[in-house]
Amino acid sequence: MTTVTAALVKTLRDRTNAGMMECKKALMDAEGDIDKAIEAMRKAGQAKAVKKSSRIAAEGTIVVVCSDDAKRAGLVEVNCETDFVAREEKFKHFAKEVGAKVLQQSIKKSEELQEKTDAARLELVAQLGENITVRRMAFYEVQQGVIGTYAHGDVNGVRIGALVVLKKGTLELARDLAMQVAAMNPEYLAANDVPEARLQKEKEILTAESERENKPKEVLEKIIAGKLKKFTTEITLLGQVFVKDSSKTIEVLLKENGAEIQAFARFAVGEGVEKKEDNFVEEVMAQVRGE
């Protein structure tokens, strides 16, 4: 009996965007030969999805979901190749269904969500002719406290989604904080959370910049320390100035309201995806040729 490793399944999944179990079965049938497995999957009617899986999907939408009692909430990024398809009703419906599944089943891992939505995704790929991916997700659930969400979008759909989990505090405050996260994109919660390596790298950059100012060493050290502190406040949620009241920081806001942040998350469409510039004429001709 052929042994199919998890690594082999992952490789086939990366190349085809097919479901985990589909990949495992195809590899078992092909006795571990990836090329034969792909050929079999294409013959089985997944040719369009397999062929398009290598295309970059950096457009799409962020789905923001939250339960009525604000105890469970999640973010999902669903991608496609063009903003044209992002506006397509079938794509919007699929994305909405994916988000609903996360909330209904309290799904916490991207791999599980991808597996449970893969059949519908492959069907949509065939219908719309673009690579479509359920790229990532975040889900939180609390017994005590609330979760606030915020969605920011345009004609192409929701482009940025954010959520904030409060151990203590009101739902209104949680929603204000989610808006803060969406707008200001903090990387960490508090200064203590910033990795030392990140601070050292920034200090090296600031030192190199300051050395060109030709000032006494002790003066430069104070300048660098000040800039490093400013950098830390800008990338931490607690250190940022509240967007709705610039007279206070988020840390002060929390103290005033007796609130405490447990976690936060922010997704923006296509962030971290390397987009490529397509040749429009060649793209059209490729479609004419049926490629």
| Residues 65 and 139 grouped into a single domain | yes
- Asked whether residue 172 is assigned to any structural domain, the reply reads yes
What CATH number is attached to the domain comprising 77? 3.30.479.20
Across the range 35-51, mean pLDDT stands at 65
Q: Per the domain annotation, does 167 fall within a domain?
A: yes
pLDDT in tens, 99-141: 999 999 999 999 999 999 988 998 898 888 888 999 999 999 9
Total domain count, the chain: 2
**Which of 116, 74, 79, 73 has the alpha carbon at shortest distance from 95?**
79
Query: Taking all residues of the chain, what is their mean pLDDT, rounded to a whole number?
Result: 87
Q: Which residues pair with 62 in a beta bridge?
A: 77
pLDDT at 54 over 70: no
Radius of gyration in angstroms for the set of CA atoms belonging to the chain, rounded to a whole number: 23
Same domain, 15 and 82: no
Q: Is residue 71 domain-shared with residue 174, that is, in the same domain?
A: yes
Per-residue pLDDT tens for 82-108? Answer: 989 999 999 999 999 999 999 999 999
The predicted model gives 154-172 an average pLDDT of 93
Where among 35, 52, 69 does a domain terminate? Answer: 52
Average pLDDT, stretch 32-54?
67
Q: What is the mean pLDDT of residues 13-27?
A: 76
Q: What is the pLDDT of residue 117?
A: 94
pTM of the full predicted structure?
0.75
Which whole number is the average pLDDT over 42-65? 70
The pLDDT tens digits for 222-275 are 989 999 999 999 999 999 999 999 999 999 999 999 999 999 999 999 898 765
Separation between Cα atoms, residue 20 and residue 5, nearest integer Å: 12
pLDDT at 273: 76
Q: Are residues 39 and 67 in the same domain?
A: no
Structural domain that includes position 124: 59-189+262-271
Q: Note whether 243 and 150 are within 8 A (CB).
A: no
Shared-domain flag, residues 48 and 112: no
Tokens 């940025």 sit on residue: 160
pLDDT at 279 over 70: no
Q: Is residue 228 part of a domain?
A: no
Cα 166 to Cα 34, 187, 261, 276, distances in angstroms: 47, 17, 5, 39
Split at pLDDT 50, 70, 90, the class of 218 is confident
Same-domain status, 101 and 15: no
